[in-house]
Amino acid sequence: MDIVNESRSWMKPLELFEDKEKNVKMCAPMVRYSKLAFRMLVRKYGCDLAFTPMIISESFVRSVKARDSEFTTCKDDRPLVVQFAASNAQDLADAAEIIAPYADGVDLNCGCPQRWAMQEGYGACLIKKPELVKDMVTQTRSRVTQSDFSVSVKIRLRENERETVELCQRAEKAGASWITVHGRTPSQRTQPVNIEAIKLIKENVNIPVVANGDIKSLEDSHMIRERTGVDGVMAARGMLENPAMFAGYETTPVNCIKDWIELSLSVGTPFQCFHNHLIYMMEKALPRSERRIFNSLCSTTAVLDYMNHNYNISI
């Protein structure tokens, strides 16, 4: 667990919500992608709060090797929320206690729809276990006592909207700092996000609500706030394609690509991650023939040579 704990100033997650006129902008926890360099990149372009990829709390607590491989941070990686997948309250509370000195909050994943996760008792299966979710939040909150340390929950919708609201209300009573709502059920993939369900949740809880799903531009973030009254928005794929979207760019600007290269190399990002992010960022800029060439590059040197030759980006 590569960590640097130095004293510096940043706005804590709960402070971000204090300005009721602010639409808090978040980068979602994305497996393989929400690593240190990408978190640092999106903060340069209007993102207020970044999440780690989902980490399995059980292995994180029990294995130093897992901690070293799953969590890397530095003094500039703030504000930061670490997302955990947990199937019981003790694992989540233990993981939160370990991570508390190096992050600003933890988030409980109750939304991952992947079959393996649900079979292990993680992710979206938890939305049907509101008492367990309540216990997990309660125990985590009691274990980490810093008042500015957030304990949030990210959910998908239940088929019954009232049951979704009740889940959120129980999480609120347990001490959840905010709730992020992906506006689809676990079985839905490409269906439109249920805006009305997100609005209903916002109207029935007193803690901040963050909307997630199909937010691919700054305009989208404004639209969903206007239609639902939420306190913030969270983007995933939209930020992979354009890490500068919250700064108002319609496509990834060259400066952002250059920043990615510099940041990722500075923290030792593995080649596959380094290259895959560039593939996403440049997808709309490259014609199909060029995409085939760029996507087939197999070394950092080859990528840097390509960027220097085609974009005059030299590192």
Catalytic pick among 27, 110, 112, 125 = 112
Burial class (CB in 10 A: 0-12, 13-18, 19+), 190: exposed
Cβ contact 303:293 at 8 Å: no
Cβ contact 4:73 at 8 Å: yes
Q: Which of 129, 209, 145 is nearest to 177 (CA)?
A: 209
Q: Which of 77, 60, 61 is nearest to 69 (CA)?
A: 60
Percent helix, percent strand, percent coil in the chain, to nearest 5: 50, 15, 40
Task: List, as one string, the DSSP characters of 173-230.
Answer: HHT-S-EEEESS-TT-SSSPP-HHHHHHHHHH-SS-EEEESS--SHHHHHHHHHHH--
Where helices occur in 17-160 by DSSP H, the ranges are 36-43, 57-62, 64-70, 89-99, 115-119, 130-143
Query: Is 112 one of the catalytic residues?
Result: yes
Residues serving a catalytic function are 112
